Homo-oligomer: A and B are copies of this chain.
Amino acid sequence: MPESTRRRSRASRGGQFCTIKDVAERAGVSTATVSRALSGGSVREDLKKRVIEAAQALKFRPNRAARNLRAGSTRTIGVLIPDIENPFFTSVICGIEEVVQAAGYSLLLANFNESPERERALLAAFHAEGVAGLIFTASCSLTSQYQPMIEAGIPMVAVSRLPGRLKVDQVTVANEEGARAAVAHLIGLGHKRIAMINGPVSVSTAEERQRGYERAFLDAGLRVPEDLIVHCDFRQNAGFAAVSELLERSRRPTAIFAASNLLTLGALEAIHQLDLKIPEDVAIVGFDDMAWAKSLRPPLTTVAQPALEVGRSAARMLLERIQQPDTPRRQVVLETTLIVRASCGAGHASAKT
């Protein structure tokens, strides 16, 4: 009878072969001693050895759920992002993973696909799951959803986008300066009719990049060409449509500043469809330096964000806050750098002539 019970429970326990009790029995000590022996309490050497041997023989793995319950906390970090398929976020995740893994935490990942409802649901799931901390990029439409978790005292770090007036640590990049540098570069090459395709202004990154665009004109003593600023969502199709429209205007822009990687791809598609030459007919600068940027012909001039480092910083900040919850709030802003390739007619291409 105990035999059969035993077997059933092992199977239902998803691969748990034995508990601390079994180890204790085999080693001839109490469970307390086993626990102490395995997690660094003071235990007589010979007993410790016996325990360790028993544990190995039985392939003992402490049950995480029991441990979490007792400890009142988990070793998992939640990551909530708008779009896993966007390589920028992928790199961020990669950076987070690196740091978090090294610290012995696991990563719970959720993708809300820019949908505020899913964002809310996933947030609730993370809360229920009892994550030790959360790294997130909000959809920005309703950041108040995050309030309950903040009040619950769960450490959180916002990444890339500023989450309204939530009081949390933040890691962002110098969007305004990056955009300014990109547009200034175009202006320096003689462009005046420079269009910008941008995401929704409700998202802080879009707003900041637009400010950079405007500042570049103001710095150069030029009027900001408001009619050349187009807003759409951050997807490739939207960028394609927006740029197609721009390029079919009677006075076509001579250059395009695309405010994100997917918008850049859409823009390129539109340019190619009209059989225009880059940079002779239209120059283009992108945002985000992706793996494919230098494989384009001509290679793409773009504003690079240190995505990996964004992830790493966020993870480090989160771990620090988990250890010391009461330190003052911090905001880290990482540099962006303009990478000049050939898609504006400067750099490599001109150097070649």
CB distance from A352 to the nearest CB of B (A): 10
Of B15, B61, B269, B290, which is within 8 A of A294 by CB?
B269
Can you name 8 A-B pairs with beta carbons within 8 Å? A11-B325, A12-B72, A15-B127, A16-B130, A59-B148, A65-B130, A85-B291, A272-B295
Q: Which of A108-116, A176-184, A191-199 contacts B (4 or more CB under 8 A)?
A: A108-116
Residues of B within 8 A of A109 (CB): 93, 97, 107-109
User: In chain A, residues 51-100, which have Cβ atoms closer than 8 Å to a Cβ of chain B?
Assistant: 59, 61-66, 68-69, 72-74, 76, 84-85, 87, 90-91, 93-94, 97
0/1 interface trace, chain A 15-59, chain B, CB 8 Å (1 if under): 111000000000000000000000000000000000000000001
A205 to B277, CA, bound (A): 38
Which of B11, B69, B131, B294 sits near A153, CB closer than 8 Å?
Answer: B11
- A65-B69, A129-B64, A265-B291 known; A107+B106 contact, CB < 8 A: no
| Complex Cα gap A296–B296 (Å) | 6
Interface residue ranges of A229-274 to B (CB < 8 Å):
236, 262, 265-266, 268-269, 272
Query: Which residue of chain B lies nearest to A61 when distances are taken between CB atoms in the complex?
Result: B128
A14 CB within 8 Å of chain B: yes
Of all chain B residues, the one with the shortest Cβ separation from A86 is B90
Q: How far is the CA of A65 from the CA of B268 in the complex (A)?
A: 49
**Given A59-B148, A268-B295, A296-B296, are A108 and B107 also a contact pair (CB < 8 Å)?**
yes
| Structural contact, A94 and B87, CB atoms closer than 8 A | no
Inter-chain contacts of A73 with B (CB < 8 A):
12-14
Task: Assess the A130–B63 pair: CB atoms within 8 A.
Answer: yes
**Residue in B15, B97, B106 whose beta carbon sits within 8 Å of that of A152 in the complex:** B15
Q: Contact check, B84 vs A74: say whether CB atoms are below 8 A apart.
A: no
